[in-house]
Amino acid sequence: MASKTIIKFLLGLGAVSSTIISCGSDDSKNENTATPQLVTIDPSNFKGELKSGQQAKLDPSKVYKLTGGFTIRDGASLEIPAGTRIEATGGTSSYLAVAQGGKIFVNGTASAPVVFTSGNTTPAGGDWGGLVLCGRAPINVGNGTATSEVASLTYGGTSVSDNSGSIKYCRIEYSGAAFNSEKEFNGLSLFGVGNGTTIDYVQIYQGNDDGIEFFGGTVNAYHIVSNGNEDDAFDYTEGWTGTSEYIYTTRRTDGTGNRGVEADNSQVNELAAPVSNPTIKNATFIGATAGSESQALKLRYGTKGSFENIVVSGFSTGVDIEHDSTLDNVANGSLKITKIRFDNITTESSGKKSDKTVVNVTNAYTVDNTATGAGNGTAIPTWAQGWTANL
């Protein structure tokens, strides 16, 4: 994650022309009526937006070509049935975003997941943007609302249980297009998303930035696979307070990629409220020693949190804790790691105060070599088999 906790700035992505074909004869008359306006999306040119009062459902028998940005606006919804395939091209101009009040329903199954992937002949990370959800749950930047660093949508608010829909059994491949070295898409970006939203059985593969990142919010995420992504596998900041259980991550086979978890509260104000304070359970993070950011768990900038039943393997450092505020959370018990197993780790742990003074942080965790992590130690867990690819 490259300076992602600075206050967000506006970056227009440019207007995109809608390719939605309305079943109604007058959009302006139907936009805010109680009866949903059903629309059809052109599979060969999937871009544009769904406006308030509009609903669309993709056809799983067709392959959808995501050729630009597609935004689901407040009061609109999109359903993507099991087995649907969306092939994206266009780099940063190609993404699917849910604005505050919009809803997406990705209804994949174990035998027929929904797949977002590259439409290029030779797919590679960064071929398109990614999935972006923006909700009205609390964040700790700005005055409680901010603008997403990608898709330029408002996020944040006071609705803990805000609902942006449901994403189940979904693969997101070859995402992470970058505007510059400081600003890029993740595979799945969750901006101020509330815990009324369902995130379950999602794989992010071979993206050019983070696999999944939480920007504040209260959303929970279960059964997450993040493998082969160029930056961090699992990232959170801006006051995320949800739960994530059953996580399995690996770095790229060439050893590139950074941390298993990058955990922040706020770089601008380490004590900003709400403070990042997630619960992360039953997780395996597999890395490699290449690069300067080979840390399984990087905990910094005032984060709190509870980590339980964790397996870390193959990193240079297992647990790395920085900054006085984060170390204070260790001391008062609001940041703790219980039942962690270190496998093939060069340095078990390291710690630094804000002035770079090196400190011992073994009081932050309890070693337990019976930890099973995501379910099967360092091996692929049973729940991750069948609907994923390239594990």
pLDDT in tens, 329-353: 999 999 999 999 999 999 999 999 9
Q: Is the pLDDT of residue 28 over 70?
A: no
| Strands, E assignment, 242-316 | 243-250, 261-263, 279-286, 295-299, 305-313
Q: Is the pLDDT of residue 255 over 90?
A: no
- Does 23 or 237 have the greater pLDDT score? 237
Match 């309305």 to its residue by tokens: 22
Q: What stretch of H or E contains 330?
A: helix 324-331
Q: Is the pLDDT of residue 3 over 50?
A: no
Q: Is pTM, for the whole model, over 0.85?
A: yes
Q: For a pLDDT cut of 90, what percent of the chain falls above it?
A: 85
Does domain 20-384 fall under CATH 3.30.70? My reply is: no
Spans of all domains in the chain: 20-384
Q: 136-159: per-residue pLDDT in tens? A: 999 999 999 999 988 999 999 999
How many residues in total does the chain contain?
391
Grade residue 24 by pLDDT with cuts at 50, 70 and 90. very low
Q: Is the pLDDT of residue 7 over 70?
A: no
Per-residue model confidence (pLDDT) at position 33 = 52
Considering the chain, what is the average pLDDT of its residues?
91
Cα angle 125, 14, 166; round to 5: 60
Per-residue model confidence (pLDDT) at position 2 = 42
**How far, CA to CA in Å, does 371 sit from each of 153, 263, 361, 384?**
40, 21, 20, 18
Q: 30-85: per-residue pLDDT in tens? A: 444 568 899 999 999 999 999 999 999 999 999 999 999 999 999 999 999 999 99
| Strands, E assignment, 58-134 | 63-72, 77-81, 85-88, 95-98, 103-107, 114-118, 131-134
Grade residue 27 by pLDDT with cuts at 50, 70 and 90. very low
Q: For a pLDDT cut of 70, what percent of the chain falls above it?
A: 91
Q: Is the pLDDT of residue 232 over 60?
A: yes
Task: Return all residues near 15 (Cβ < 8 A) that are at least 6 apart.
Answer: none
Per-residue model confidence (pLDDT) at position 251 = 87
Per-residue model confidence (pLDDT) at position 304 = 98
Coil, strand, or helix at residue 154? Answer: strand
Q: Is the pLDDT of residue 132 over 80?
A: yes
